[in-house]
Amino acid sequence: MDQWTDRLSEYLDDELEARERTDLEAHLASCDACRATLDELRAVVSRAQDLTERAPDADLWPAIAARLDGGTRRYSFSMPQLVAAGIALMILSGGAVWMANRQAAVQAPTQAGVQQPVESPRAVPVNLADAPYDEAVADLERALEAGRSRLDPTTVKVLESSLAAIDQAIEQSQRALTADPANTYLYSHLAAARQRKLALLRRASALADTEG
């Protein structure tokens, strides 16, 4: 992820200043990842035009996973792939809700056919369910639990306190997103916190394995 990733939705909404728009377009010319994300966002916009106001389908993961790795077991995903997929999933699911609502607000005509003023996106529940992530976390937590007795008790305490700190950050980000579902910073912040939790769990379970 780079500095432009969380500005792509603003780009699509034509909310960037002229200079920023020019800079972003220059960046897009050389950044495959941003181009791909932009294409996905465009696809969401396109689909959103056909959506009624409802939560999007939750399970977008299989398609993403299949594209990433041919549907092999989740442990075969690299960390960047998990993170990229997680971000894509959150952008797609959360973004779809947001855009569907924007679209509904923009297009909802009165019975007389007169457009109402555009409303700001309402706070709606955002679907943050991410079963593959939760399963990966659960697997790593089981592995850590199995190796717990091999770790120094002080180290275990430190790891638990650090995981609790990350969990708190995840919970606060999720709560903020529920109240502010159009905030792209919160999506990337939440994705980073989830990535951090996975990374720490992997490190901790590897450590338990090494010390055995």
Partner 1 sequence: MKLASIVAGMLLSAAVPAAAQTARPPATDQTIAVTKGQRLEVNNFAGEVMVKAWNRDELRVTAEHDSRTKVGVRTSGGEIRVSSSRSGAPASVDYVISVPAWLPVRVSGGPHIFASIEGTQSDVSVETVSGDIRLKGGAGIVSLKSIEGEIFVENAGGRLTLNTVNEGIMIRGATGEITAETINGDIRMLGMKATGLEATTVNGDIIYEGTVADNFYRISTHNGDITLAVPENVSANVSARSYQGSVRTSFATTETTEGRRGSRQRFTLGGGGAQIEMESFGGDVRIRRIGEVSLEPRRKEKHEHDK
Of the ranges 38-46, 89-97, 102-110, 150-158, which one interacts with partner 1 (CB under 8 A)? 150-158
Least Å from the CB of residue 113 to partner 1: 29
Per CB under 8 A, the list member of 12, 124, 137, 207 interacting with partner 1 is 207
Whole-number minimum distance, CB 135 to partner 1, in Å? Answer: 23
Judged by CB under 8 A, the chain residues 111 through 140 that form the site for partner 1 are: none
Applying CB under 8 A, the site for partner 1 has a residue count of 31
Q: How near is the Cβ of 140 to partner 1 at its closest, in Å?
A: 15
Contact present, 55 and 171 (Cβ < 8 Å): no
Q: For residues 78 and 168, which CB has a smaller minimum distance to partner 1 in the complex?
A: 168
Whether the CB-CB separation of 35 and 48 falls below 8 Å is answered with no
Write the CA distances from 111 to 13, 116, 184, integer angstroms. 27, 11, 34
Based on the shown chain and the rule CB under 8 A, indicate whether residue 158 belongs to the binding site for partner 1: yes
- CB closer to partner 1, 64 vs 102: 102
193 is an interface residue for partner 1 by CB under 8 A: yes
Give the largest Cα separation in the chain, rounded. Answer: 74
One of 28, 105, 200, 206 touching partner 1 (CB under 8 A): 200
Q: Is 152 in the site for partner 1 (CB under 8 A)?
A: yes
Give, as ranges, the residues between 170 and 189 that touch partner 1 (CB under 8 A): 172-173, 176, 180, 182-186, 189
Task: Single out the residue of 8, 68, 144, 159 in contact with partner 1 (rule: CB under 8 A).
Answer: 159
Do 24 and 16 contact (CB within 8 A), yes or no?
A: yes
Q: Under rule CB under 8 A, which residues in 31-90 are in contact with partner 1?
A: none
Task: Give me the residues that bind partner 1 (CB under 8 A), please.
Answer: 2-3, 15, 17, 152, 154-155, 158-159, 161-162, 165-166, 169, 172-173, 176, 180, 182-186, 189, 192-193, 196, 200, 203, 207, 211
